[in-house]
Amino acid sequence: MNENKIKVYAILMSIFVVMLVLTNIIGTKIFLLFPKVLPNGLFGVPISLTAGIITYPITFLVTDVTSEIFGKKRASLMVLTGFFCSILTLIIITIVLKLYPSDVWLSGSSYENLSEMEMAFSTVFTLPGILIFASMSAYLIAQLIDIRIFHFIKKITNSKFLWLRNNLSTMVSQLIDTIIVNSIFLGYGMGLDSNIIIQIIIANYLIKLFFAAVDTPLVYFFVHIINKKIKK
């Protein structure tokens, strides 16, 4: 690769890893989608989503752009790098949670004692083991499938119809991701009824389909801009 290609790939890799790590960190927060507009949700129940849905779709946008410009090997390398960076992040967070807090930590805070502050910190950064397993398994499988479907469609269409391979690869991979995460975490981890799990899967997947449609013009835009940049 020429120097411009290396720089662009490094930037895409950085964005991908940051978005993925952020997904694991902020994913502990669950929020209501449009509580005032859709108080009864889609099935008579308010739509609850994890905050990770804000950052996670960006990872698919980045992998599709990378696949189109740099090919399957570079995109797969990005996915594997993100996986190992996520594992490293979780290991470091686990170590930090075990460190004994200092009284200096209380300076300027609104907490009355170290126990309260430590509990608040742990509540934010402690992830259930089953959620980590579900999230990382789904991520690795879905991203690698996304790349393979993307390049399969690219091959049979002779590199035409970027919108088609972008949407189909994302739609299939996001469906797999949504089913794996929610089935393991909500079913095995929380023991929820299968009907509730199906409703949550459908609601989450519809939101992801919306993001897939929205990111199509973005894929065209970034592919165009990057191709101009690396050809200079």
Q: Which amino acid is at 219?
A: V
| Mean pLDDT, residues 18-36 taken together | 79
Q: What is the dihedral of CA 38, 183, 163, 53, to 10 degrees?
A: 50
Q: What is the mean pLDDT of residues 16-44?
A: 77
CATH number for the domain harbouring residue 58: 1.10.1760
Domain of 74? 3-230
**Considering all CA atoms of the chain, what is the largest pairwise distance in Å, rounded to the nearest integer?**
65
pLDDT over threshold 80, residue 151: yes
Q: What is the pLDDT of residues 52-104, one digit of tens each?
A: 888 888 888 999 899 989 988 999 999 899 888 888 888 888 888 888 888 88
> Do 90 and 127 form a contact (C-beta atoms < 8 A)?
yes
Number of domains forming the structure of the chain = 1
Looking at the chain, which runs of residues are DSSP E strands? Answer: 30-32, 48-50
Name the 3-class secondary structure at 30: strand
Nearest in space to 210 (alpha carbons), one of 75, 85, 54:
54
Q: Render pLDDT for 172-219 as a digit per residue (tens, 0 to 9).
A: 988 988 888 778 777 776 677 777 778 778 877 888 888 888 888 999
Mean pLDDT of the chain: 83
